[in-house]
Amino acid sequence: MPISLAELAERTGAKLRGDGTVLLSRVATLDSAGPGGIAFLANPKYRFQLASTRASAVIVAPELASETSLPALLGVNPYAIYAKVAAILHPPPATAAGTHPSAIVDVSAKVAVSAAIGPLTVVGPDAVIGERARIGAGSVVGAGASIGDDAVLHANVTVYDRCVVGPRSILHSGAVIGADGFGMAEEQGRWIKIAQIGRVVLGADVEVGANTTIDRGAIDDTVIENDVKLDNQIQVGHNCRIGAHTAIAGCVGIAGSTRIGRNCKIGGAAMIGGHIEICDDAVVSGGTAVSASITVPGLYTGTVLALPHRQWQRVQAGVRRLPELLLRIRRLEGAQTTPADTLGEKREES
């Protein structure tokens, strides 16, 4: 159902400029929007599209408002306003409460009447499914696991025994919560498996991307605090702790017993070593390898910029020679300074 621009302004906290009676039914980009659509400008590099957009309204920062005559929502963070508007105009489809006939729910499980349990889902003994929770088709909730109120498990999510998913959290398809951590002891060339007896505990408002895996703790729990956002195909090792409001992009690997602080941002394909700490408010660029603790907030980058292949080969050839070149420099410095030092000593003696 279309919603007026004035209502959107009231519900998002944005400032209304222009005709508040304009009706909106969808969000769109500046380039693709048409009548009934509301577009947003978050990146100033696209400001030229304001003049040609066919949107019925736009979301812009106050300093760019003069560049369009369209009705607008104004705010210092247009992208955040857009996120709120998108949630209002495109709510998730309603899911009827109840348990599908093909689901297998243990008699000892506690499932809220308002919850929705999809086809071929398995809910184990003593599991708890909270109010209005949605468990997608083919998902498995293990024995003693707990799914909080309003949580969403999309199709084919696995939550192992005793793990906890907090309220309003979202787990995308293929996510695995609570698999065994990679704990092995070596003896006489053979590996002895170490029992993983901890849990995974997800806080409130956590989002876990598709095919992301979070290992259970070896002894203590692996903990993902409130409002953490994990992208697709991330590996979180056992006994890790990720602080509230941290966001981690796809394909990041986090080795066991690592602690990541609050409000951190970690770029895609970064590799985080085990048994280290990353302080609050740290930013790690994509592709960066972090092998030691980060104790001071700021931006950390350890990537090699892309070069034409032949140039990259020449650069790498030079890098391989660095130890040899450093040794030659030290020898040259020694040859240049030793005679002068000796001469100075002789003058002092005389």
Report the distance separating Cα 142 and Cα 21, nearest Å: 50
Sign of CA dihedral 80, 85, 87, 88: positive
Q: What is the number of other CB atoms lying within 10 angstroms of the CB of residue 48?
A: 10
Given the residues 154, 172, 238, 245, select the one marked as catalytic.
238
Report the distance separating Cα 258 and Cα 276, nearest Å: 5
Rg (CA), the chain: 28
Report the distance separating Cα 105 and Cα 124, nearest Å: 6
Per the CB < 8 A criterion, the answer to whether 252 and 194 are in contact is no
CA angle 83, 84, 86 (to 5 degrees): 65
The two tokens of residue 248 are: 């981690």
Q: Is 33 left (phi over 0), alpha (psi -120 to 50) or beta?
A: beta
CA angle 246, 247, 253 (to 5 degrees): 105
Length of the chain, in residues: 350
Report the distance separating Cα 231 and Cα 248, nearest Å: 6
Known catalytic residue: 309? no
CA dihedral 222, 227, 230, 235 (to 10 degrees): -10
CA angle 304, 308, 313 (to 5 degrees): 70
Per the CB < 8 A criterion, the answer to whether 273 and 293 are in contact is no
Tell me the catalytic residues.
238
